A and B are shown apart, each in its own frame.
Chain A
Amino acid sequence: MTLDARSVTLHLGLLAVLVVLGFVLPTYHQGNLARILVLATYTIGYNVLFGYTGLLSLGHAMFFAAGMYGCGLVMHLGGWPVLPALLMGLVCAAALSAVVALLALRTIGVAFMIVTLMFAQAVYLTVLYLGAWTGGDEGFVIAQASRQIAGFALTDPLTRYFAALMIFAVALLITARMMQMPFGRVLIGVRENEERTQMLGYDVFRHKLLAVIISGTIAGGAGAAYAILFGYVGATFASVQYSIFPLLWVLLGGMGTTIGPLIGVAFMFYLIDYASGLTNAYMLIAGAVLVLLTLFARAGIVGEIRNRWVPWLP
């Protein structure tokens, strides 16, 4: 079996398993998995920039929030239906990521991290400042009645699950394919050795610019999806912790792996969920597990599997 064929089988097989899980999981876990799929979509977006291009952003929450507010505000204030609102979320995230990329890519390394962090903080404070429309830190609810497509209520657990799966599948397949194309190879080249890539004649700035825009737009799509599927838009999602989360999830799942984001989000979600049932000091448990993973699985869960047993894992 060629690498491409194995990759296609893996991704389609994963999606088939997720389809089956939608029907067999109990309601609680079905709801959890819907959230995990949306957050994994966000993490896939982050992985494009961090995992494949090697640019560590500390401000991705601004892209997630751009999609969330771009979509949520037109639904809440303008009464837009779901699909045009989703498109608006994507446009907002793409526009913001293009502007941020043009400015932030003038820097590299630690400076890039700091600049993205500062831009994200500016977006967060803007959300608070425009409280009359955004609801400030409290946020706002998107009416249940407006969250439907062609008569299918997205508040129905099964419909919501498959909507989340669809968004995840699109992001997964696009990025998986992209990383097998020359464009994706150049991104990996930038990560491995930027100077050499430049000397080979590739336009590194243009590739990094496109990487930020693609990454930010996918993150924004996840933000818009969260607003539509779960009915809440709030400034918390623009705060710094939601910039740190995708970094954590990518590191846990395995940076530069296509299925790592899903594994990382799911692992962290259920670690918190179960540990919080045992003790109020559940973050201590989470912290201890993360330290162990850092010590014994430095490449993340999927990354470690790739390094040890399955070298072809995309």
Chain B
Amino acid sequence: MTKLLKTSRRTLLKSAGAGALMASSPLLGRFASAQSSEPIKIGFQQHSTGIGAAYGRWYGRTTDAAVKMINEAGGINGRPVEIIAEDDGTDPKRGAEVVEKFANQHNCDVAFGTLFSHVVIGSAPAAGEQKLPYFVVSEGHHVASGGLNRYTMQPGITDVKSQVQAMAPYVAENLGKKVTMIFPDFAFGHDHRDFFTAAIEAQGGEVLEHIAVPPAETSFTKYFPKIPRDTEVLYHVMVGPAVLTFVKELGEFFGPSSPAIFGFIDSLEAVDLASPGLEFLEGTYFWEGNPRYAQEDQTSYDKNFRAAVGVDENGASVSDASDVSTYAHMFGCWETLHIIKAGMESADYQGPADRQKLIEAVEAMTDMAESDAHPQGPKMFNGKTHQVFGVQYISKVENGRLVKVHTTSIEDTMYPDEVDYTTQSF
């Protein structure tokens, strides 16, 4: 027999009143929320397809490893972390759509992980409008230049301006002061052109020639005769599918006698140095955001990081030696996730209503000591510019391996503030 539940008007009013009291009490609300075991949802804007796919694959592996570690240590504020990955196709339009999807469909607490600059810049307006904290791992100067908004931060990886600027003292002292630069003729290359030219001039050096290569170029031989004969250092940075051709043709052009060659490892991220045609790189120098090969003075933090992500001492996957990682950049995902954790714990983050507190908590961060949370090295965060600064590495190719020859100071990487995001309202 079914018993009918009868509700009188008085009972209903009592229940409604109690419910309203519960809902309107911030203390009770917080208590209820604190007891929640709902996961913290982090939207991971991943370059799974498109030109950034090689980076996206390793950013994904690093992210999974960091979240596993965070969850095994108790999560964030007692709540597990859940990664919600969406492919942005390395496209700025899709990037903005993905950010809106994180905010409005997946109900993510924050978004993170974007690498390519045009996707970051295309997505940042959506993050600002949705008031969704957006932690990018891009190394672009777009955040610190002041072009974005208060919700966009880059606390886990240094920017190209500081990286390039920090190379100049070593190049001028050890390789030469007359430099010729070869770079792709778009924004990434222009950043190198502008920042390095200024930095080498500050060291008493000069750039003899800027050789800009159009973005759709597939053969580079015709550009090399433009390199002046008195060049002491050839500075190169190239990205995209034609990188291997570029390096091979450079080797064929110079043969055994070449000036000192300095490049950014971006040219060869995810590329095996043992690839045919790259033999000529022996004895040349590279900037590395994080040394791909385990060094003699490897820290326990780097060792733990490699083990967690599944990278061997040569910088390749432990399960496939031909699957070379994007080691110079992917630590940024690991460190950013640990910063999100630290920020949420500092802000006592309970839910989307605390997003502003989270931003303020991260803005208040300064020194980040080298640790398991920061295996790349120590860092210093600038809350005004939303940009982190940290040590950079220069490696030399010896016997087909990148051997670290110089570590910059953090001070080498710093430059005057170009923006103060903390003055912007939420």
Which A residues have a C-beta under 8 Å from some C-beta of B? 26-28, 31-32, 35, 125, 128-129, 131, 135-142, 144, 155, 230-232, 234-237, 272-273, 276-277, 280, 282-283
Contacts and interface: CB of A to CB of B under 8 A. Distances in A.
B129 A155 contact: yes
Contact of B101 (A28, A136, A155, A231): A28
A231 to B, nearest CB: 3
A137 B147 contact: no
Given A125-B214, A276-B86, A31 B104 contact: yes
Interface in B238-256: none
B186 A232 contact: no
A280 B105 contact: no
A129 B185 contact: yes
Contacts of B214: 125
Contacts of B186: 128, 131, 136-138, 235
A248 to B, nearest CB: 15
Given A232-B96, A280-B87, 16 more contacts: A31-B104, A129-B185, A138-B121, A138-B186, A139-B118, A141-B148, A141-B149, A230-B125, A231-B126, A232-B121, A232-B122, A234-B92, A234-B122, A235-B118, A273-B101, A277-B86
Nearest to A31: B100
Contact of B147 (A28, A32, A125, A141): A141
B405 interface: no
Nearest to A154: B129
A235 to B, nearest CB: 8
Contacts of A27: 104
B17 interface: no
Interface residues of B, number: 35
29 contacts: A26-B105, A28-B105, A32-B97, A128-B185, A128-B215, A131-B186, A136-B186, A136-B190, A137-B118, A137-B187, A137-B188, A137-B215, A138-B142, A138-B186, A139-B118, A139-B122, A140-B121, A141-B149, A155-B129, A232-B121, A234-B118, A235-B118, A236-B93, A236-B122, A273-B97, A277-B86, A280-B49, A282-B87, A283-B49
Interface centre among A35, A141, A235 (most CB of B within 10 A): A141
B48 interface: yes
Interface string B92-126: 11101100110011000000000001100110111
Contacts of B128: 144
B48 A280 contact: yes
Contacts of B187: 131, 135-138
Contacts of A131: 186-187, 190
B335 interface: no
B140 interface: yes
B269 interface: no
Contacts, number: 93
A142 B128 CA distance: 12
A234 B142 CA distance: 14
A50 B96 CA distance: 29
Contacts of B126: 230-231
A28 B91 contact: no
Chain A interface secondary structure, helix, strand, loop or mixed? helix
B188 to A, nearest CB: 8
Contacts of B142: 138
A32 B121 CA distance: 19
A230 B188 CA distance: 23
Contacts of B87: 276, 280, 282
Contact of B117 (A31, A138, A230, A277): A138
A25 B69 CA distance: 39
Interface centre among A137, A140, A234 (most CB of B within 10 A): A137
B179 to A, nearest CB: 21
B96 A230 contact: yes
Interface string B36-62: 000000000000110000000000000
A138 B92 CA distance: 9
A283 B91 CA distance: 14
Contacts of B122: 139, 232, 234, 236
A141 B148 CA distance: 7
A232 B124 CA distance: 9
A235 B104 CA distance: 27
Interface centre among A26, A28, A32, A282 (most CB of B within 10 A): A28
A139 B92 contact: yes
Contacts of B148: 141
Contacts of A28: 100-101, 104-105
B228 to A, nearest CB: 24
Q: Closest 7 interchain pairs by CB?
A: A231-B125, A28-B104, A136-B187, A138-B187, A137-B186, A28-B105, A27-B104
Contacts of A272: 94
A155 B149 CA distance: 14
Given A136-B186, A138-B142, A236 B101 contact: no
B104 A232 contact: no
Contacts of B104: 26-28, 31
Contacts of A137: 117-118, 186-188, 215
A26 B104 CA distance: 8
A144 B121 contact: no
A144 B118 contact: no
Contacts of A35: 93, 97
B131 to A, nearest CB: 11
A65 B118 CA distance: 16
Contacts of B101: 28, 273
B397 to A, nearest CB: 29
Contacts of A155: 129
Contacts of B117: 137-138
Nearest to B124: A141
A234 B101 CA distance: 21
Contacts of B93: 35, 236-237
